[in-house]
Amino acid sequence: MNIVVCVKQTPEAGRGELDRFSGTVKRTEGRQVINPFDLYAMEAALRLQEQDPSTRIIAVSMGPESAGSVLRDCIALGADTGYLVTDPSFAGSDVRGTAHVLARAICVIGQLEHIQIDAVFCGAKTIDGGTSMLGPELATILGYPRVTYALQCSFNDGSFTVEKEDDRGNRIYSVGTPCLLTFTKASFPVRYPAISRILEAESAQLPVLSTVDLDAVSCGTQEDTQSWRKYAGLNGSALHVEDVRYRKLEKKSQIIEDPDPARAVAELSQILYSKNIL
């Protein structure tokens, strides 16, 4: 089985900044880490690989050259290889543009590796965007059935059994291949990389796919080959940010010291009602 895991380089939680002119996240400043939800997707793929050692895991990241660090993190965890999808023309892509570029890249990777992609795993959302739409958008472009907010999955007799988080409880789905699954936080922990794998990842060669590389491989019809580019980058975005305005947050606290719990709760309720919170 061949699994592509899409991972993203994101600013460390709570430390992201926006460029005031483009409205995009600054990805060259501060500490950049692998998106936490993508780690759940990687862990799900690694657990399948433990059950079937022939499973091949290919990590893919779209971003600047610095995004190669998250691919090395994936290789250190157990991925077989990592593809960096990078080009100046991709900068500023919105969800739709990112999905079109990744869909094209996944198709090209299948051609270059001479394999059939059986599944694409993604994080349910990213901590710098949080739209939760990349997975569904990517599945639509690829033409894959999808299950979102998966907690865990297993693979038997040519199909995945997926436990999905639902607002009314968890549900179990069965989905054939090829398919796309997005993962949210599961009950099991994400593993740490072994020292030997970290050293191996540091020297690993990361294949790079640019616009030229994505166009050079025959993948789909001629129309498909050309259409993905019009969605990439700021120019392909359906929405454009005109300005970013920051506001100063003032932290205030108030302590209710009434020893009577009933009166304390009543006072708290009045405060919350006065601020239109309740």
Q: Are strands 179-183 and 119-123 parallel, antiparallel or unpaired?
A: parallel
Q: Can you give the pLDDT at residue 48? A: 96
Mean pLDDT of 114-120: 95
Contact (CB, 8 A) for 74 and 84: no
Q: Can you give the pLDDT at residue 161? A: 96
Domains in the chain (CATH in brackets) are: 2-236 (3.40.50.620)
Measured between alpha carbons, how far is 88 from 226 in angstroms, rounded to an integer?
18
pLDDT above 60: residue 46: yes
Q: How many CB atoms lie within 10 A of CB 121?
A: 27
Query: What are the tokens at 258?
Result: 């009434």
Measured between alpha carbons, how far is 64 from 25 in angstroms, rounded to an integer?
12
Query: What are the tokens at 101?
Result: 């570029």
Q: What pLDDT digit, counting tens, does each position of 159-176 carry?
A: 999 999 888 888 999 999
Question: Hey, which bits of the chain come out as E strands?
Answer: 2-6, 9-11, 32-34, 56-62, 81-85, 119-123, 146-156, 159-164, 171-176, 179-183, 208-209
Mean pLDDT of 111-139: 90
Q: Average per-residue pLDDT in the chain? A: 86
Q: What pLDDT digit, counting tens, does each position of 208-241 carry?
A: 999 999 988 777 644 455 678 788 887 777 776 6
